[in-house]
Amino acid sequence: MNRRTKFDTFTRARSSVFALLTVTALGLTACGGDAEGEPGSSASPATSAVASEAATPTPTPSATPEYKPASAEGPAENVPLPKMPKKAKEESEEGLQTFTLYWYDVLNYTYESGDLAPLEAITAESCRRCGEVGKIISDWNSEGRWMVGGGVKIHGTGTDYVKDADGAYQMAVQLTPLEVQYFQADGALHAEEPKQDAGLDILVARYENGAWETLNVGVAGEM
């Protein structure tokens, strides 16, 4: 397959698609003297406890690995994985909208990290275009190769939130596929695709077993 045909196929595919420290204040009770004014003879247990704690070194929290974006100099490092919002777990219109935005955040993470597992965990195997994009990402992030860019920018979402016969809902997503560059293991630029015009995706999802799952993603009018 020549390079242009391969990346034309890819273009179609990608178009569819945090130390909490709790400080406990210890109340110290001073020992008063006796009736004749003689001072107490020993330190209070509370004072001894504080002294003991002060002598114990506090463990130093391990540093979070520094995130390094992908560039022409090399692949991304320590890409932060998006955290699913609680709202994205709700079976509601707002829950579906939040899940949709989260799904695309994970897609962008996948482009940069090459890690497919988080996206696959929230996507049905039957999503053909998801599989096509995943294969390209997986293939290109192997044998020392890497990608810069890719992913999408979301402009808005909308749904009538009507369940179909299969129990699924559709979410319209206005987005722009971003520029992407492909680098060989030796650092040579292999190919690049410019930022594309804004378009409309349709994400189909179903709520099952307490979670949303993306069943399909496609360009509006082509599904």
For the chain, give the mean pLDDT: 81
Question: How does pLDDT run across 3-14, given as a tens digit for each residue?
Answer: 444 444 444 444
pLDDT tens readout for residues 86-124: 999 999 999 999 999 999 999 999 999 999 999 999 999
Q: What tokens were used for 67?
A: 């995130």
Tokens 């979410």 belong to residue: 171
| Higher pLDDT among residues 141 and 50, named by residue | 141
Q: pLDDT higher for 60 or 110?
A: 110
- Asked if residues 50 and 26 have their Cβ atoms less than 8 Å apart, the reply is yes
Query: Is residue 61 very low, low, confident or very high in pLDDT (cuts 50, 70, 90)?
Result: low
The pLDDT value recorded for residue 220 is 74
pLDDT-derived band at 219, boundaries 50, 70, 90:
confident
Of the listed ranges 61-70, 164-173, 190-199, 210-219, the one predicted with least confidence:
61-70
Coil, helix or strand for 12? helix
Q: At what angle do helices 128-140 and 93-113 cross, to 10 degrees?
A: 30
| pLDDT tens-digit series, residues 15-29 | 444 233 233 333 323
Beta strand pairing call for 180-183 and 168-177: unpaired
For the chain, give the percent of residues with pLDDT over 90.
69
Q: State the average pLDDT over residues 129-140.
A: 94
Q: What radius of gyration do the chain's Cα atoms show?
A: 27
Higher pLDDT, 184 or 33: 184
Query: Which candidate, 97, 116, 61, places its Cα nearest to that of 173?
Result: 97
State the pLDDT confidence band at 136, using cuts at 50, 70 and 90.
very high
Q: Map residue 21 onto helix, strand or coil.
A: coil
Using CA atoms, how far residue 64 sits from 8, 18, 19, 78, in Å, is: 39, 9, 11, 9
* pTM assigned to the model: 0.73
The pair of three-digit structure tokens given for residue 75, joined into one six-digit string: 């692949």
Mean pLDDT on 130-134: 95
